[in-house]
Structure 1
Amino acid sequence: MARHIIVSAALLLLASVLSAANASQTLTLAPGQASPKASIGQLSWLAGHWRGEALGGIVEEHWAPPSAGSMVGSFKLIVKDKVKFYEIEIIREVADSLVLQLKHFHHDLKGWEEKQQTVDFALVKIDANAAYFDGFTIRKISDNEIHMFVVLGREPELKEVIFKYQRVLPG
């Protein structure tokens, strides 16, 4: 009996460790919850050229340094030496907080969203090494590595995808 309890306890501990390892890396803004105060300067570590692998190909992002209350970035997915799609991205100061906005484009620069529409992610939480937008997290791992976690798909089949980027150094 004691052996059964020990094995059961060990399995329960393993399950909780695995569950924590697979815990969501994104947050959601609760209904009525306001975004926290933040400024674009808090994300200056994001500036630069980043490359990694995700979505079955090579992913690349370029982020300009903060200026005029915003940062602008571009994203490109390359699969089998062909561009699958692009994104234009901005993080900007709005109402004493931050919002991440983007637009998608096919390989021929024809837009996915309607002309006046953007995909918007409100800020949920920010700290020295991470910005948690609603369904989209940007985390600084080191000066030369960042991870982005994005919730993709449609209800009820949402999934969190990780993008692991390394800084592309000049030269």
Structure 2
Amino acid sequence: MRAFLIAVVWLGAGLGLLPAPSQASEPDEVLAALGWLEGCWAGPGFDGEMSECWMRTASGELVGAFQYSADGALQFSEMLMIGHNPDGAFGYHVKHFNRDFTGWEENGEQVSFEFLALDGDRVIFSGLVLERDGETGLKAFLDMRRSDGRVETVPFHFHRME
């Protein structure tokens, strides 16, 4: 499963299969528009359960934590950030961790999905789209490469946790 998921995240970071942005948005504008994302979300995925929580930093970025569990046990987790990475690129940045908290990426590296566009309650990154679905829903669309080489966009549906 881990090898498959590594291929998924690296694919999403590099393919850029989504259309070019219709309008450029300033990072502060994007972060302000994503206030609806703050809080905790849960839903099914990869034959297990996923959940993530987002909060705003004092300087305005969004940071979060994600966990994936299957068969009653944590399989892996992620630290998330929507903001600028150390290289200055604005986007959705991820660091993955095994169940024992050892990292997948090399020290100082992360998987990054470059910001492309903001369209109302929908934010488009290269290989990843987050979309508000009413007051209590979140849809995520992740570009994934299957073992046979095909690329498909996989939807995930989360609900706001109370």
Report the TM range for the smaller structure's normalisation: 0.7 to 0.9
Specify the alignment match of 2:9 in structure 1.
none
SS of 2:109's partner is coil
For the residues of structure 2 that align with 1:90 and 1:130, how far apart are their CA atoms? 17
> Match for 1:162 among 128, 146, 155?
155
Cα shift at 1:116: 1.4
CA contact (8 A) 1:104 1:113 kept: yes
Counterparts in 2 of 1:41 and 1:139: CA distance versus 1, 3 Å:
same
Specify the alignment match of 1:115 in structure 2.
107
CA contact (8 A) 1:37 1:97 kept: no
The higher-RCO structure (CA 8 Å, 6+ apart) is 2
CA contact (8 A) 1:36 1:123 kept: no
Specify the alignment match of 2:82 in structure 1.
91
What letter is aligned with 2:18? T
CA contact (8 A) 1:76 1:87 kept: yes
Counterparts in 2 of 1:27 and 1:129: CA distance versus 1, 3 Å:
farther
1:34-56 deviation line (CA, Å, top 9, x unaligned): x8223211111000110000111
Q: Normalised by the size of structure 1, how large is the TM-score?
A: 0.73
For the residues of structure 1 that align with 2:99 and 2:67, how far apart are their CA atoms? 9
For the residues of structure 2 that align with 1:53 and 1:127, how far apart are their CA atoms? 26
Counterparts in 2 of 1:73 and 1:143: CA distance versus 1, 3 Å:
same
Moved >6 Å (runs of 4+): none
Specify the alignment match of 1:15 in structure 2.
none
Specify the alignment match of 2:18 in structure 1.
28
For the residues of structure 1 that align with 2:32 and 2:84, how far apart are their CA atoms? 10
For the residues of structure 1 that align with 2:90 and 2:60, how far apart are their CA atoms? 9
For the residues of structure 1 that align with 2:62 and 2:112, how far apart are their CA atoms? 15
- Structure 1 residues 57-66 or 149-158, which shifts more? 149-158
Cα shift at 1:153: 2.8
Counterparts in 2 of 1:99 and 1:73: CA distance versus 1, 3 Å:
same
Matches for 1:65-144 after TM superposition, within 5 Å: 65=56, 67-93=58-84, 98-144=90-136
CA RMSD after TM alignment: 2.6
What letter is aligned with 1:91? I
1:18-77 deviation line (CA, Å, top 9, x unaligned): xxxxxxxx85366xx8x8223211111000110000111000010003541310011100
Counterparts in 2 of 1:29 and 1:101: CA distance versus 1, 3 Å:
farther
SS of 1:28's partner is coil
